[in-house]
Amino acid sequence: MSFRYKFSVVLIVLGLISLIMSFGGRNNAFTPPEKILETLVSGTYSISPDELAVMLVSQDSGMQIIDVRSSGQYKSGSIPGAINIPLADLLEPGNKAALSNGDIKTIFCDGNGLLSSQAWMLCKQKAYEGLFILGGGMDEWDTVIMKSKFEGETISPRENALFEKRFQARRLFVQWNSMPDSLKTGFFAAKSKKDKELVGGCE
C-alpha cells in the first residue's frame, strides 16, 4: 500500500470527523475544505528526506520539526532538532505557540507517515500555516539517508553532492541520538560555533 494511498485514507476519515464536529457551532478559525484539497492536489504538503537533510545540514532557521510519536518512540531515535509532541497532545493549549508561527516551516514526522498525516490535517483544519510532513516518515528517512550507498564505477558531481549531504545528515543523526537529552537543547548552537571556529582556523 503506497504512502499516498494511506494518506488519502487518513484524510477521508479525518474529513468525516471534521464534518461531524463542525455542526457543534464553534466559531474557531478553520481552513475551508477546498483550500485543504488544493494543497493536497498541489503535492506541496510533503518534504522528502533529502530536502530535510539539506535543511538540517545548513541549519535552516526557517523550519521546526515536530515528532508526533509517543515519548518512548521519540527517544528510540529522532530527527536532529525535533521536539516531541505526541499526536494526542498536539492541539492542547500549551502547544499553540509551537504551531502558530506561519513564517517558518513546521514539519511533522513519525514512523511511517500516518500519524504525521493526521497531525497535518488536524492543524490545517485549525488554520495553522506553514505545515508539512516528512514523506514516508522515519522509515523513509532510514532508507534514503541512513542506509544509502553508491553502487557504480563513476559518480556525477550532482550525485556526489547528494551523497555528501546524506552523509552529513547521517552523521548529525548519530550525534544527536547518542547524546543525553540535557545536551540536545544547545546542540546546533554549539555545532555552529565549532564550525565557525574551524573556518576561522583555516584563514
pLDDT digits (tens, 9 = 90+) for 126-184: 889 999 999 999 999 999 999 988 777 788 888 889 999 999 999 999 999 999 888 88
User: What are the domain boundaries of the chain?
Assistant: 3-142
Q: List Cα–Cα distances, 78 to 14, 74, 116, 142, 170, in angstroms.
A: 26, 6, 14, 11, 12
pLDDT digits (tens, 9 = 90+) for 7-47: 555 555 555 455 444 444 444 667 777 777 777 777 789 99
Contacts 24+ apart (CB under 8 A), 92-101: 98/64, 98/66, 99/123, 99/126, 99/128, 100/128, 101/130
Nearest to 88 by CA among 54, 59, 126, 115: 115
pLDDT digits (tens, 9 = 90+) for 58-84: 999 999 999 999 999 999 999 999 999
- CATH H superfamily, domain 3-142: Rhodanese-like domain (3.40.250.10)
